[in-house]
Structure 1
């Protein structure tokens, strides 16, 4: 049985993505090459590692065992690379961050840009997830650090305050709701909405909230950014839900109004979460300290 680090990294990506196709994309491999590697791994082991179905793939018991060891070995390999980098001119390595939509779009771009400018040999793998998913994945060792909503139970993870923000409803200036001081999410579900791509963590969160209320979220358009959502709202396509920081910028140049959401979940205290600061690779520890100073 011989697996190299590329095999192990691919296998981890496949399991985390839930499909060989998306796992191959994350590993920067062609689908045919990725499929061949997985088949060769199973042939070398003499047992199936994946159960394949129409929805994607899930690990077999052997696959779950391999995944545990793969994560450990890949972490050790990354730490080895960082430790040796001190002899070749600086700190190097890759940091895996899992973030909810709010932090990813509103706060991380500036913070990470400043960090990466001072650490040219460090790269960052940034993935958007729901907050409750992030907690579980960080605990399992899938990522180095996560950024989640402060309302989520983080269990035994170490946590640090990051930022505060809230979601607001944005409407055209001429809309009847523009004069409202605040409104509940349930009261506006009868309107058309403009939102992010259905795969985004925030859109999945809002769809779940609407489902619990018993009404579908009527999405007319799905876009890639909050700024684009605001432009569509201004054009009268539908209403939107965006971070307050986004709305404050947009209302300066667009004919839209921000209306407070009365729901408790609209307030977003964002939290950094990690397994253990002392166990992080050096570059990841430096990033945590950088983000804490930026808070």
Structure 2
């Protein structure tokens, strides 16, 4: 067992797939599969349950993933401490974020942070808010940006900025003049959305199917921008973050309809098991994000 094995297994556990884990580790599928089998042989126990949906860690695999995260985090802290004696601060940061944060709110902030810290690299993973909170509690991640709709019990949190979801419709659509409505009332119209891997779309889909079992999309696309363009062309309606709707409306004339559902009135949170226990580089990132968004929402909470 070596550090390459630990990183690979952590990637597989996070992605839920040996194929995706191999891609993140820059390995061929055959090489990654062989390394995982060798790990299982060396440890004397199955680490993954493999099925048609991918690969999920067994209880032993969860234990390995938890300790692998700790070992790699400690190694990162060691590299950062030693780099200060040579070329200046260096660190590799890992941040988990929901769809809205990863695609809309965080990119300009992270670009500023990385420009101010040229020795830092960053791996941002898009995940559902509930999965982010679970990973933080299990110490599989150090820092995350979920919405306040997730159960963040046991985590230290600071609010970053409001992130409400809205319905977008073409300017000539029958709903274009509606002041506000519930998702349930909108489901009679054809919906567009992102692919199933999207954290945002998984949440919207779950809410829609609570209202109408068996409900599905007319079309799925690869980005919020593509969804917005197709809505503007009259292919259907969609639920997107308000920030996306405002940006796309300027170019395409989309109309925004606020949703009355409680789950749509979201706030993005910065979350960690403990801000005080973060490695120095991760703590700098956390402080930067909190300072950069200060005043956007109410004071921090646990």
What runs of 5+ residues in structure 2 fail to find an aligned partner? 294-302
User: Which residue does the alignment assign to 1:145?
Assistant: 143
The aligned residue for residue 71 of structure 2 is 73
Distance in 1 of aligned mates of 2:150 and 2:51: 32
1:15 paired to 2:23 = no
Tell me the number of residue pairs that the alignment of Structure 1 and Structure 2 aligns. Answer: 293
More strand by share: 1
CA distance in 2, matches of 1:217, 1:121: 48
Task: Output one character per residue of 1:81-113: Cα deviation in whole Å (capped at 9) or x when no partner.
Answer: 111111122221211111111111221010000
Structure 1 position 189, deviation (Å): 0.7
Q: Does 1:186 align with 2:189?
A: no
* TM-score, normalised with respect to structure 2: 0.92
Shift in alpha-carbon separation, 1:42–1:215, aligned structure 2, 3 A? closer
Q: Residue 276 of structure 1 corresponds to which residue in structure 2?
A: 274
Q: Partner residue of 2:4?
A: 6
Secondary structure, aligned partner of 2:163 = strand
Q: CA RMSD for the aligned pairs?
A: 1.6
Contact 1:20 1:35 (8 Å CA) reproduced: yes
Q: CA deviation at 1:197?
A: 1.6
Q: Structure 1 regions of 5+ residues with no counterpart?
A: none
1:44 aligns with 2:45: no
- Bigger Cα displacement from structure 2, 171-180 vs 250-259: 250-259
SS of alignment partner, residue 7 of structure 1:
helix
Q: Distance in 2 between matches of 1:60 and 1:244?
A: 39
Q: 2:254 aligns with which of 253, 256, 259?
A: 256
Q: How far did 1:201 drift?
A: 0.6
TM-score scaled by length of structure 1: 0.94
Q: 1:61, CA displacement in angstroms? A: 4.1
Q: Which residue is equivalent to 1:92?
A: 90
> 1:93 & 1:217 partners in 2: Cα distance?
45
8 Å CA contact 2:163–2:266 kept in 1: the answer is yes
